[in-house]
Amino acid sequence: MKRNGVPLWVLALLLSSAAMAVQADTPDDLQGAAAVALQKLDQLAIKESSRAKGAASTARGLGVQLNSVALQGGPLNDQLKNRKGELEEKIGALDDQIEKLKEQVGKLDAILAKISQLLPHFANAPENDQGIEASQHILASIVQDRVRASRLADAIKRKSSDDVSSVLRGAFEGARVQVGAMPEGAGATVNFRIGSLVHCLSTDKRCRGAVSSLGKAESRDGSEVIMQELQSLLAAANRESALCNKAVEDVLSRLDTAQRGSAPIDANRAADLQRLMGRLSKLPSIESQVSRDVGAAMDRIIARS
């Protein structure tokens, strides 16, 4: 039987050959797309490493500053403690300055507590987001292993998200892979997310007009947000610590000229002052410990980067 002068068996043979050619080319095309994606990823890894080191160095510097400010405040606090009796005698004339000092100490206490709570989460966050490392292993495995590329092409053809995820996860133990769209088309196209990185591979340039694309979504563990918050808290701690030192200087300066206040010095006011003195005496050691913790955490980040 003929159709338009061409025997049907010839037409069938041609169609079958074309289908086999497309199927044979798809794994190779996926390998090529993965190679392009891997090159883009390597460039991103260099940028991310530089950014992480820069941010960690900034945070470490802020921690060093905090320790320096704490050391400056130590002698001032000792002077205040040595003059406690005189301060109690003249507390009536120094109420405003003491209230301001209490306010600064309270702010600094709160900031240091937040930093201490944040550090463990921050120290672990960069290890938990395996986006770059896992992606490098997975893409390299597709480039180097045609069998894996063929399995991936077949899973995409069948629109099986589970199988696509299984093929990708198999290249990196513990990788978190989330498979997205696999649009219909002449070739094989798949979108997937690993950690905070969003990938697209395509055999017919359907990734924003290219065979691959790479995007960066918000990290699941929020490491960047944590880093920004940590830097902000450290800057605030330095600022409040400096203001606290200034407040102590003001109290000491006014203590020399203050006259005894008209209000009686009762037990509650004396106890309140005693508590303030106790908090002041602990602040330098707390700030120094926070500074050491920050330095150690940042050193680990820099080493990993």
Q: Quick: pLDDT tens for 75-107.
A: 999 998 888 888 888 888 888 888 999 999 999
Please tell me the least confidently modeled range out of 82-96, 202-216, 220-234, 256-270: 256-270
What distance in Å separates the CA atoms of residue 76 and residue 114, rounded to the nearest whole number? 25
Q: Give percent of the chain above pLDDT 90.
A: 46
DSSP state of 92: G
Average pLDDT, the chain: 84
CB 238 within 8 A of CB 62: yes
**Which pLDDT score, from 0 to 100, does residue 10 have?**
41
Work out the burial of residue 35: count CB atoms within 10 Å of its CB; fewer than 13 is exposed, 13-18 middle, 19 or more buried: middle
**Which pLDDT score, from 0 to 100, does residue 8 have?**
45
**Which pLDDT score, from 0 to 100, does residue 19 have?**
43
**Of the ranges 35-49, 233-247, 273-287, the best mean pLDDT one:** 233-247
Instruction: Give tens-digit pLDDT for 256-274.
Output: 887 665 556 677 888 888 8
**pLDDT average, residue stretch 275-288:** 90
**Which pLDDT score, from 0 to 100, does residue 210 have?**
93
What distance in Å separates the CA atoms of residue 191 and residue 214, rounded to the nearest whole number? 10
Return the ∠ at Cα 154 (arms to 148 and 159), rounded to 5°. Answer: 125
What distance in Å separates the CA atoms of residue 298 and residue 231, rounded to the nearest whole number? 11
- Structural fold of domain 131-216: Nuclear Transport Factor 2; Chain: A, (3.10.450)
Q: Which residue has the higher pLDDT, 267 or 178?
A: 178
Q: Where in the chain is the domain with CATH 3.10.450?
A: 131-216
**pLDDT average, residue stretch 48-72:** 91
- The angle, 0 to 180 degrees and rounded to 10, between the axes of the packed helices 223-257 and 267-304 is 140
**Which pLDDT score, from 0 to 100, does residue 132 have?**
86
What distance in Å separates the CA atoms of residue 244 and residue 249, rounded to the nearest whole number? 9
